[in-house]
Chain A
Amino acid sequence: MKNFKKLVGAAMAASMVFAMAGCGSNNGGGGDTFKIGGTGPLTGGAAAYGQAVRNAAQLAVDEINENGGVNGYMLELNYQDDEHDAEKAVNAYNTIKDWGVQIVLGSVTSAPCIAVADKTKDDNIFQLTPSGTAVECTQYDNAFRVCFSDPAQGTASAQYIGEHNLASKVAIIYDSSDVYSTGIYENFVKEAEKYSFEIVSAEAFTQDSNSDFSVQLQKSKDSGADMVFLPIYYKEASLILTQANGMGFAPKFFGVDGMDGILSGVDNFDASLAEGVMFLTPFAATSSDANIVNFVKAYEEKFGETPNQFAADAYDGVYLIKALIEKSGVKPSDDVATICNGLKGAIVDYSFDGLTGSGITWSADGEPNKAPSVVIIQGGVYIEM
């Protein structure tokens, strides 16, 4: 028994050393393909977002390669699982670094993205996050994003409600354990001061209590709100809509891009309850825009599901990278710092037309400048307002 344990121990130690030494370092760059890598949650609770980004990015890369690549160079994509965890994201990033990544298209979610941004800054690799919304994701000058930041969404929502006089008394239900939700909430409140509507209640829930919203809804109802602002994801929103209907509370509901998916993403949800729900989104899969129609068709054919906003952001991200490579004229044989500087120089003052907006420009601080669009659900489809 003792000997056996020793044997197992020795074998384990040996295999470890072997494993560590075995995966020696990899040379970065070279060849005639641009290596684009990213990290996102491909497993676990947030897997839907990571998979959407990976699938759409792959779709875009395949399309570009079929049409002759970028300046004659092919693109290659490597997406690694970060399990929506900062520590795992760094591991995933190191994996793509060993693979020789030259441009980072990630991370998908905020906290991992902040951790990865710290590393890409040290390595001086160009980073474009499709959907990392926290402010700190793009705090360094090598990082840019495709989507709106959390503050931008909160501000834009308040502006929209105020400018269109959609409501006079607004109640908010938000997730205090979620960065995305609290970020939007805080900036919504800040911006709301400038407008005539009044915030009558702000009730929080956490990930541990995200199934029963009767208390929050009752308070919203008692405060006389004629609109409920929901800066949360569609899963909780579907429960809120169902429970509000159950208690006969029928205000207007206004959401943000996390609401995308409410019609098809939840099982056993009566989609008719979502009628009249408005939300801010840069992308609606039902749009009649020719590019979007083509993208949705290709995505559905390949992956068997309707793409969401994350997918659209990633698709735009790849095409943006293509455009920037063309504009700056960098080559795959350049080192990462040269590529980073080239793309960084090219993105400022570049006007990009994509699925999530047209005429998008970027400032040097990494934020995109695009007009938010609001959709309303009518007859089971999104209609742009």
Chain B
Amino acid sequence: MKALKVKMKSDKNLRSNLITFGMVIGVYIIMQVLLAAGVVSSLVRGLLVPLCTYAILAVSLNLTVGILGELSLGHAGFMCIGAFTSAFFSKCMQEAIPIAALRFTIAILIGALCAGLMGLLIGIPVLRLKGDYLAIVTLAFGEIAKNVINMLYIGVDEAGLHFSTKSSLELNLSENGTVIIQGAQGITGTPNDSSFTVGIVLLLITLFVILNLIHSRDGRAIMAIRDNTIAAESIGIPITKYKLMAFSVSAAFAGMAGVLYAHNLSTLSATPKNFGYNMSIMILVFVVLGGIGNIRGSVIAAVVLTLLPELLRGLNDYRMLIYAVVLIAMMLFNWAPACIQWREKMVYRLKSRKKLTKEAE
């Protein structure tokens, strides 16, 4: 009986996972067919890679917020690190490695590794904190990452790399040297390697790793820590290890999303808009709206909320106003206690009506 129950549960998980994967692959196939038929507007075509980027970000943050249960407000910081390390690599190696696929694969690995490593380093001191304090420190980390990159000047010539924190003049480059990271201007001329297919593959990898992690023994331990730290500790779960694991995996995937972001645009600069706390909060909004701990919900929320302001362009000046109103309405609908009650009542009514009709038959 017990074995059967366990089996049923794992079947349910499997089914839920398959729905998630099926949804992503389904959208991919539909989009490919539409693209081949040539009926997709340039706007939507241009949005495909950002949609994958934000979906990956939302899923990876959900691991920290939903599964580990810690509020992180520095997710854009990890994205920033992934974006800049990989763009730096691609810019340097543009001539050395002419095969785009190989270069981009290495760039993805570098971006994810650097961000993951940073997650680990940040995690060691930060995860000793709880609740609001953790949120504040991660928020600060995101801002620091952005500001450090804004003051970095890196150039390259025959003699090797030159660093400065003042200006590109102080790099003392030779005649044929080039400035790669130019302070606030960031990196210009990153090769345009991101594509929808790569984005979907990365999203599937993210989903695969994170869903498997959640349903593995380690994932159970992480959720046990979320639900009751003291109880988890008392049964011998190494809290620090699992917290760090979840945090750095989450950071690594954020870094991967950063790689995708950096190679989609020809200019990469760390502004408050794209790597500041605004972005971190935006990703958190995807997670909260999609359902904390609900991976599929994160993907859907990221896609809907990224598409929404673009599809509202027809409203001109009222666009951002309407977007904000819709956001508030959705948040209330999903999370306000009165709304949840009302929804439950409606579902109950629907169900009982169904039952009645069944009985009548």
Contact = CB atoms under 8 A, between A and B. Distances in A.
B183 A176 contact: yes
B41 A26 contact: yes
B164 to A, nearest CB: 12
A25 B274 contact: no
Which of the four size classes fits the interface of chain B?
Answer: 35 or more
B44 A20 contact: yes
A98 B265 contact: no
Contacts of A23: 41, 43-44, 311
Contacts of A20: 31, 34, 40, 44
A185 B268 CA distance: 21
A118 B192 contact: yes
Contact of B169 (A42, A118, A136, A186): A186
A87 B42 contact: no
A19 B265 contact: no
Interface stretch (B73-81, B212-220, B227-235, B300-308): B300-308
Interface string A69-88: 00000000000110111110
Interface string B335-356: 0000000011011001100000
Nearest to B343: A4
Interface of A: 1, 3-4, 9, 12-13, 16-17, 19-21, 23-26, 42-44, 80-81, 83-87, 90-95, 97-98, 110-111, 114-115, 117-118, 134, 136, 176-179, 182-183, 185-186, 189-190, 206-208
B40 A94 contact: no
A25 B39 contact: yes
Interface string B149-171: 01100000000000000011100
Contacts of B41: 23-26, 94, 98
A16 B343 contact: no
A86 B274 contact: yes
Interface string B38-68: 1111111111001000000000000000000
Given A23-B43, A91-B50, A176-B184, 6 more contacts: A1-B343, A17-B30, A21-B34, A81-B319, A136-B189, A179-B269
B317 interface: yes
B300 A9 contact: yes
B143 A1 contact: no
B274 A85 contact: yes
B239 interface: no
Contact of B265 (A13, A90, A177, A179): A90
Given A23-B311, A176-B150, A206-B147, A1 B39 contact: no
Given A43-B320, A81-B319, A190 B169 contact: yes
Contacts of B43: 23, 91, 94-95, 97-98
A308 B86 CA distance: 40
A21 B39 contact: yes
B229 to A, nearest CB: 28
Nearest to A181: B184
24 contacts: A3-B351, A4-B346, A16-B307, A20-B44, A21-B40, A23-B311, A85-B274, A86-B268, A87-B261, A91-B47, A94-B41, A94-B42, A94-B45, A94-B46, A111-B267, A111-B269, A114-B266, A114-B267, A117-B266, A118-B192, A176-B184, A177-B150, A177-B184, A207-B272
B271 interface: yes
B272 A115 contact: no
Contacts of A43: 319-320
Interface in B276-308: 296-297, 300, 303-304, 307
A3 B348 CA distance: 10
Contact of B266 (A94, A97, A118): A118
Contact of A86 (B269, B296, B347, B351): B269
Contacts of B266: 114-115, 117-118
What 10 A-B pairs come out closest when comparing CB atoms?
A: A118-B266, A94-B42, A94-B46, A114-B267, A94-B43, A179-B185, A97-B42, A23-B41, A98-B41, A85-B273
Contacts of B317: 42
- Greatest chain B CB density within 10 A among A9, A91, A93 is at A91
Nearest to B188: A136
Nearest to B319: A81
B11 interface: no
Contacts of A114: 188, 266-267
Contacts of B269: 86, 111, 179
Contact of B347 (A4, A9, A85, A177): A4
B44 A86 contact: no
Contacts of B27: 13, 16-17
Nearest to A84: B273
Contacts of B132: none
B38 A25 contact: yes
- Greatest chain B CB density within 10 A among A86, A118, A182 is at A86
Nearest to B150: A177
B241 to A, nearest CB: 34
A182 B188 CA distance: 15
B184 A178 contact: yes
Given A16-B303, A25-B40, A87-B50, A208 B271 contact: no
B42 A176 contact: no
A116 B63 CA distance: 35
Nearest to A17: B30
A24 B307 contact: no
